[in-house]
Structure 1
């Protein structure tokens, strides 16, 4: 009996995974706007606060990415825009200035930054952007 009670208590302590936003599966098929936010690792600062917004209107797929490097009293802020596409669970952002960024769209709706070949970055297992807002029609 005691092992059963202990197992029940232990399972209650683990947080349940967040359900994905209902708008996420429709992202590639419906018009609208979806946002993700997160704090990413940084080698020479306290972190990178990121806000990614994807918009789709018909055949137009646009994104805006704002990254704020948290360092000292003032952080550097960088903004980037371009086109996006979603294929095989991988979100590809093609910047207007040529930058290419890849994110894996995880089953729970989070985005994980990936390298140019779609592989996770080493030692950055905790880097995620989480769904913040969605308006999909």
Structure 2
């Protein structure tokens, strides 16, 4: 991929590949210290993604480094914030490290109503995101 970086903070790096029509969000391994911090990060991430014109792109969300977290307050907040991240893209693919990650993202997808392909295989996701 010939990626152009359009956003970076301690939690996310956002890269764009215009040729492939893919936005890649790479989540770091840094845990969120508070719900307020989580909300601020997702606000900034959402603004950066909005500026790209989401509907032109497929989104590849790389979650392989994310520390697992499923406490109720975090889950409730993420349910509200996830659309700021994954909403409005042509297609969404989620790259995870483990089978447990696949199951957790499947659970999120059922709640969100956003269709997405979840895989541990990056090539599978890239093929999915670049097909019409």
Structure with the larger helix share: 2
TM class by shorter chain equals under 0.3
Return the TM-score normalized by structure 1: 0.26
Which structure features the higher share of strand residues? 1
